[in-house]
Structure 1
Amino acid sequence: MHSRRRGLIIGFHECDRKVRDNIVTQKSKNLKPSENLYDWLGNGVYFWENNYDRALKYAKDIKNNTQKSNSKIENPSVLGAVIDLGYCMDLLDSSYLELLKHGYKLLTETNKKHGLEIPKNKPIGIGKEGDLLLRHLDCAVIETVHQFNEDNENRQGFDSVRGVFFEGDDLYENAGFKNKNHIQIAIRNPNCIKGYFIPRELNKKYPKT
């Protein structure tokens, strides 16, 4: 009853300037969905929710650290999008967190039955500590939920997945906030994306609106 997310949101996608321009001028119709086994929210086209600065910083990170993404970025840029989340697997919602637990149970039971190893989340690099940037387990659990929906005709597939992530260093001593906290969205249904735009630079003479 409360599963559909009403209203439009703004998302930002890090990319090369050429990719941005081709999408906006419609030389390319759609962004290519990410299908890595370590994607944080499973397969889909990824956006930073209402966070232009974070998207641009990540684009620059990819340029300087190619191991962070399969995408190649020479000229870091940001593509804006107007998005309707539709039927969203919103992981800020308690009911979908419970669904994710069931997905994990189904994944572990299936893998054990077939003698397969359970994927693990881990940081980048062998033996390194820090943020779990390679989310093999989380991705597998989310994709298990999607597959379960596809295998059952009476269940509706999700258009999008939304999650909050606490990442980076503490903002200050004993802080409960990190310097890279963000909300990310993975769009599975391309019809959720209502339009693209090139974000304008802020005119500092006027207050933000």
Structure 2
Amino acid sequence: MNNTNEKSHLMYSTLPNIIIGFHGCDQEVFNKILYEHKPFKPSTNEYDWLGNGMYFWEQNLERAWEWATCGMTNPKLKIEKPAVIGAVIDLGYCLNLLDSYNIQMLKLQYELFTAKMSILDKPTPKNKNVKGNNDLLLRYLDCAVIEDLHKDMKDNGLRPYDSVRGVFLEGNPIYETSGFREQSHIQICIRNPNCIKGFFAPKEIDDSWHTP
């Protein structure tokens, strides 16, 4: 990546478009955020897919409901009554991993990260499956590389990313040899809480009108 490409890329790194994100959670969390105005707690798991932050499904209410409902069977998620909260989000300065430049930058960061691990004589984390699933749901390596990038930017006095955005092909093919998967989605990780302009409760559609 030469300097000309880097300077040009900076012109287009901010994603000013307002998007709608959905977060699956327990009803208690929903009530605290929406009605009691409690802060949205960022996820800090070592296996977070896009690093640490506040997670949303981009424009995907159904996937958020599916995740929250499935969370009832996962003790770690502590979901007793599924709920989904909507958010109005400005992605700001985004590490957009649908962008060719950012993909190559993260690839370079991986090489730097593995070199650091070697020098420190530490094992490099690995992405892992969970039993009965082949989608590498535990993204220890991806999380570590992204967090290492954030740290390097901070250490070098560079502007921090407000958000991280990635696309994931997940689930079974929708038909034989298909490149489309049943649970494919775009996921958003918000690091800067000021990106979230407001929360809302998703409403029922009024069937007497068309949807704009």
TM range (shorter): over 0.9
Aligned to 2:198: 195
Aligned to 1:158: 161
Q: Could you tell me which runs of 5 or more consecutive residues in structure 2 were left unpaired when the two chains were aligned.
A: 1-10
Q: What is the distance in 1 between the residues matched to 2:166 and 2:155?
A: 24
2:142 is the alignment partner of 1:133: no
Query: 1:208: Cα distance to partner?
Result: 3.2
Q: Could you tell me which runs of 5 or more consecutive residues in structure 1 were left unpaired when the two chains were aligned.
A: none
What are the Cα deviations for residues 145-200 of structure 1, in whole angstroms up to 9, with x where unaligned? 000001001x1110000000000000011111000000000000000000000000
Q: What is the distance in 1 between the residues matched to 2:59 and 2:25?
A: 16
Aligned to 2:74: 65
* Residues matched between the structures, number: 202
SS at match of 1:11: strand
82-91 or 14-23: bigger deviation: 14-23
Match of 2:146 among 139, 142, 146: 142
Q: What is the distance in 2 between the residues matched to 1:26 and 1:101?
A: 41
What are the Cα deviations for residues 8-57 of structure 1, in whole angstroms up to 9, with x where unaligned? 000000111121122111341x2110010100000000000000000010
Alignment of 1:73-92 (within 5 A): 73-92=79-98
Q: What is the distance in 1 between the residues matched to 2:155 and 2:67?
A: 36
Aligned to 2:5: none
Q: What is the distance in 1 between the residues matched to 2:74 and 2:77?
A: 11
Aligned to 1:20: 30
Match of 2:60 among 46, 51, 58: 51
Q: What is the distance in 1 between the residues matched to 2:37 and 2:209?
A: 34
**Which is strand-richer, 1 or 2?**
2
Q: What is the distance in 1 between the residues matched to 2:67 and 2:61?
A: 10
SS at match of 2:130: coil
Match of 2:177 among 162, 174, 182: 174
Calculate the TM-score normalised by the size of structure 2: 0.92
Q: What is the distance in 2 between the residues matched to 1:56 and 1:114?
A: 42
CA contact under 8 A between 1:106 and 1:144: conserved in structure 2? no
User: Pairwise CA RMSD of aligned residues?
Assistant: 1.2
